[in-house]
Chain A
Amino acid sequence: MLKFSRLLAQVISFAVFGVALAYFSNSPSYTYHDAEMALIMVSFSHSSERKEECRRFTPEEIAATAANMRRPMDCKRERVPVYIEVMLDGENLLSKSYNPTGLSKDGASSIYERITVKPGQHHLLVKLRDSGREEGFDYESDTTINIKAKELFVIDFRKELGGFYFKRDE
């Protein structure tokens, strides 16, 4: 091959490589979240109640235990799942149970949910069950939110603050 055409082919090879680097280093773009929509995040961890209530050991049972292992109460450590419902303008957006973490199921349940919603004014109702009851809820809270597109609204839960806790970075 002629010297010039070889050189040309070399330049073309490098140019192709360069263009590929330039292009794929930031294209095509990827849409993670629709820019027309707002986002509600349900995110917290919460320790629910124990599955079984503590029970006093009978005197016979205490007698049968080694002296250094004696305790007055028998407490099983396993917790019940945390159950959550999220309603927006009367529409159910989430109803789900979260198992406790840990090998003996005695840890907190971790909740992390992403709910894409239309922007605007909404009535938000959240309910949580963390006890062994079959029906009804242990915590309930509602609020009116006005959320813009791309905005993030976080539903938190803090038992020490009395239950649900809404926050939004202004």
Chain B
Amino acid sequence: MLALKKILRIGFEHVEDWFDIVFGAKWNPFYQLGALGWFYYWIVVVSGFYLYIFFDTGVTQAYQSLEYLTHEQWYAGGLMRSLHRYASDALVVMMMVHLLREFAMDRFRSPRWFAWFTGAPMLWLVFAAGISGYWMVWDQLAQYIAITTAEFLDALPIFGESIARNFLTDAKLSGRFFTLMVFMHIALPLFLLFVMWIHIQRHATPKVNPPKELAIATLSMLLILSFMKPALSQAPADLSIVPTTVNLDWFYMPIYPVMNNVSGLTVWILLIGATLLLMLVPWMPPGKRAAVAVVHLDNCNGCSRCAADCPFSAIDMEPRSDGSAYKLEAVVDASNCVSCGICVGSCPTATPFRTKSELSPGIELPDDKIKELREKTIAASSNLTGDDRVIVYGCQDSLDPAKLAEAKVGIVTMPCIGMLPPSFIDFVLSKKLADGVFLTGCRDGDCDFRLGIRWTDDRLAGERDPRIRKRVNQDRIGKYWAGMTRRKEFFKELTAFRLRLNKLESSQAEDKIKTNDSSEKIDA
């Protein structure tokens, strides 16, 4: 499984690199899969609503009412029908790619179990909703689906009477089933919406809307497709005639030919087994888990910044429990904390300027203490020389110190770049530990911890607390969101940054003595 995941990941990264060039990070569809899923879902709902106005829910009239929409009202009803079908197909594509991608990128392990776990039932809901939709057309495909589905359900020893027998001759009975399917086709998507909502409950500011341009482009594509190849019915259902050759929608029905050729019970065991396995994946080895964030109440002033910044909604602000004058305190929900450290980067008390070195910030990762980050920064600066001394801060998924050895920069890594409090940059520059600070992290648009890059960008731009201090010279800050894959570009950006530093007025010379002076003070 590990090898498979690695291959998948490399595959995704290659394709996404290409899409980054074509679409740019902001519009890269691979970074918007969940949001695109929501978008397709809404298209399906709106078009479905229109169809339902004209749809006749009786088994004998249903087919005719759809024929009317498709042919007499091709410009509206027919269009809506095609949109309904193609957006549903696109939803399946998006969902499967999204599933594979989250798997490949390892975003499902135990602390991140929630979205994965709630994703599994969505697979059943999406497929069941689509199948019930094709049932409603009551053409030969629907008849084929009805027979095969009924035989499949009959394989379970829970229905007393055979359901499949209803589709041999008795049109009245199949009519009853038809009504049930119409009901299911409304109930299932509604329930799906509910689970979709649950799915993102643990995500702070979930991406449920794709960027406007991407939404317009994908909707245009669906519209053009609908005009060029309208969705049609097959011949009407006739229970006395056996469906022969059917045009399956392979997005929804790849399992149907299997159901015709393998015993129903085997298919049930396979499907349920696969679903259970899928749901258990988050807890499969290697299950090592980093220590979760810890709050030090004596330094927490209840400002709520950490709760606002945590991408996984793992922090709640609760009434003070230590009798201090502040109203609130941060409380970490250990089962949701993924140990990214982004909360540390947002805490106003996490600053390297503190003189009492024992002091710890309001919130902190036990395995990556702020004190250690400060020590690592000072150590990284000690071997640097010249006028273009650079300290590179990066997340552990984007920096391989071995590969950077030649660059002669100071390297400090942490779980996520969002963990770096902006005051560290001020610290490095004002204490003259280096001439510039360069930040790197996951690929732009696809932060492994969702919001680390976004918050970092906002903090540096002065748009989000904690803001970087005005006195910091922005020319001495560089950044490039490279991930592990864009080594070449990373070095290019880094080199360019150093050239820029060299060109900056070398204010260092006169300060040099001071620098040594201050670093001694720091070390003490």
Contacts and interface: CB of A to CB of B under 8 A. Distances in A.
Interface of A: 1, 6, 9-10, 13-15, 17-18, 20-22, 24-27, 29-35, 38-39, 41, 43-45, 101, 110, 112, 150-152, 154, 167-170
Contacts of B165: 43-44, 112
B21 A33 contact: no
Contacts of A10: 22-23, 217
Nearest to B229: A22
Interface in B156-196: 157, 161-162, 164-165, 168-169
Interface residues of B, number: 46
Given A10-B22, A154-B168, A31 B244 contact: yes
Contacts of B16: none
Contacts of B90: 17, 21
A113 to B, nearest CB: 11
B128 interface: no
B313 interface: no
Contacts of A22: 86, 225, 228-229
A62 B523 CA distance: 99
Nearest to A6: B22
Interface in B232-248: 239-248
Nearest to B243: A32
A152 B157 CA distance: 26
Contact of B224 (A18, A30, A112): A18
B93 interface: yes
Interface of B: 19, 21-23, 85-86, 89-90, 93, 144, 148, 151, 154, 157, 161-162, 164-165, 168-169, 217-218, 220-222, 224-225, 228-229, 231, 239-251, 256-257, 260
B217 A152 contact: no
A151 B22 contact: no
A32 B148 CA distance: 10
Given A43-B168, A152-B240, A25 B245 contact: no
B144 A24 contact: no
Contacts of A17: 90, 93, 221
A15 B218 CA distance: 10
B303 to A, nearest CB: 43
- Secondary structure at the A interface, as helix, strand, loop or mixed, is mixed
A6 B242 CA distance: 50
Given A24-B89, A32-B245, A112 B151 contact: yes
Contacts of B144: 32
B244 A25 contact: no
B493 to A, nearest CB: 18
A35 B241 contact: no
A99 B223 CA distance: 54
Contact of A30 (B161, B217, B248): B248
Nearest to A168: B240
Contacts of A152: 168-169, 239-242
Nearest to B170: A169
Contact of B239 (A14, A32, A38, A169): A169
Given A43-B162, A152-B168, 18 more contacts: A6-B21, A6-B22, A9-B21, A14-B220, A17-B93, A18-B221, A22-B228, A24-B250, A27-B247, A29-B248, A31-B244, A32-B246, A33-B244, A45-B162, A150-B241, A151-B242, A167-B169, A169-B169
A21 B86 contact: yes
Contact of A26 (B161, B244, B247): B247
A9 B217 CA distance: 13
A1 B17 CA distance: 14
B240 A13 contact: no
Nearest to B21: A1
Contact of A21 (B93, B161, B248, B256): B93
Contact of B250 (A1, A9, A25, A170): A25
Nearest to B165: A43
Contacts of B93: 17, 20-21
B23 A29 contact: no
Contacts of B21: 1, 6, 9
